[in-house]
Structure 1
């Protein structure tokens, strides 16, 4: 298990709604293991003494800490145990999500144009691709490489498990996708090294319900891509994956040697592949 630092704990508490001072004070209370007063919380946490009582008051107001009377009739503080705090946060978060699911659609304006935006790096592209996969309800088309499969494979398996029809062409061993992710085929007709030599990058295509798509590439330590909710672009991206799967199935049925012969001799194929020029 990966070790979690105090900094990580503070960051996660802030993501769940605590201010920086509140998170520091709560962690100090938990680490103390006994009731402590504001002065000690300030000393343990780094929260300024001028604001520590205000901060503790906010923790008390949100139910994350409690006031108790100390031996000298001064006010000490105890934290809500972490397990109880996390359960409460989870309930509050789930309640807010349910409320927003009902309320947000009522205030959303109809878009003037179909959304499209650039994805500036690999993390942004994989995160947006994960969103598309998670949002798919009917079908999912992917053209993907093992490097990206390691990140997106679990999401694809979840989609298959909830009944989404999954179709995947993978350049190289699919690894964590396995057979249970849906109709997964390794692209044997075009070897991965040949594709990399021709294109210079690993192309990724992820299409959900033929209504939204992520298309991009990875290579030389860089990444580029777009997300689009334009159904015409999404449909074309899905057709790209479908045609690649059809080619793979044809190679399986008629034999790769026969396809190699056609690609080497058929003038129309040579023209489309750019190999007919002197």
Structure 2
């Protein structure tokens, strides 16, 4: 991880840009240093470095020391201790807000639905849905997106959420084949054929049949929606479950028999969009 990444994550945890730079400078010094040296090491302007250090001291991330010449020097709270403190404060705030926010929230006029304009927004929202699942998680996913979502899916399984995944390729199995009955590799229609037919990789993530992310990835673009409409979430979940059921049937009776049924039944043929004109 680069120094820039460290600064970015410290800011996500509540530090200002200058505070993060000053704290990293203190940690990197390995000894007590004065404000002038912190400014020199960090790039924080000398005109604001003492104000910035004062804020670090106020939040408990640094300590003031008096040197032999009565000059003020600064020592950082060790990183492990700082992170433990931040975690406690964060967890405490989340616990308070979990009960306080619903009390002040207005009842929605309708079920929430909003567009997702790019890959980052799609995957962030998908992670939210996975993290929020308490009973069931249903997904249709390709390896490219599973690389980002794998940890969240494994976490869901570890908290006893029932996971059902259609994977387009072996690399889309978050459990590496170690969880039978949870992941079904899409083989009846080869992933290459599906991609050629659709023109994009479809992502479907449904949590507890109450919220869903549905969207596509292709040609450097991504688009989709998040919805908390239970009817839409149910339809998305059933779409994936039917894909799973078809794959199980193909495994049991053979892909050739499934093809024969489709070829000889006009109704099935029409549903596949292959009916003759």
Q: Normalised by the size of structure 2, how large is the TM-score?
A: 0.93
Corresponding position: 1:30 with 2:27: yes
- 1:240, CA displacement in angstroms? 0.6
Write out aligned runs for 1:239-254 (5 A): 239-254=238-253
Write out aligned runs for 1:1-278 (5 A): 4-173=1-170, 174-177=172-175, 178-180=177-179, 182-278=181-277
* Cα RMSD after superposing both structures: 1.7
State the alpha-carbon separation in 2 of the partners of residues 28 and 157 from structure 1. Answer: 37
State the alpha-carbon separation in 1 of the partners of residues 58 and 150 from structure 2. Answer: 42
Q: Is the 8 A contact 1:203 1:218 kept in 2?
A: yes
Once the two structures are superposed, what CA deviation does each residue of 1:114-163 show, in whole Å capped at 9, x if it has no partner? 11111111222122111111111111111112222222223222222221
Q: Is the 8 A contact 1:157 1:181 kept in 2?
A: no
Q: Is the 8 A contact 1:168 1:182 kept in 2?
A: no
State the alpha-carbon separation in 1 of the partners of residues 180 and 255 from structure 2. Answer: 25
- 1:275, CA displacement in angstroms? 2.1
Q: 110-119 or 62-71, which moves further after superposition?
A: 62-71
Summarize the Cα distance change of 1:155–1:44 in structure 2 as closer, same or farther, 3 Å threshold. closer
- Stretches of structure 2 that go unaligned for 5 or more consecutive residues are none
- 1:182, CA displacement in angstroms? 4.6
Q: 45-54 or 95-104, which moves further after superposition?
A: 45-54
Q: Is the 8 A contact 1:160 1:166 kept in 2?
A: yes
State the alpha-carbon separation in 1 of the partners of residues 128 and 104 from structure 2. Answer: 22
Summarize the Cα distance change of 1:145–1:247 in structure 2 as closer, same or farther, 3 Å threshold. same
SS of 2:75 mapped into structure 1: strand
SS of 1:180 mapped into structure 2: coil
Summarize the Cα distance change of 1:251–1:32 in structure 2 as closer, same or farther, 3 Å threshold. closer
Q: How many residues align?
A: 275
- 1:181, CA displacement in angstroms? 7.1
- 1:250, CA displacement in angstroms? 2.0
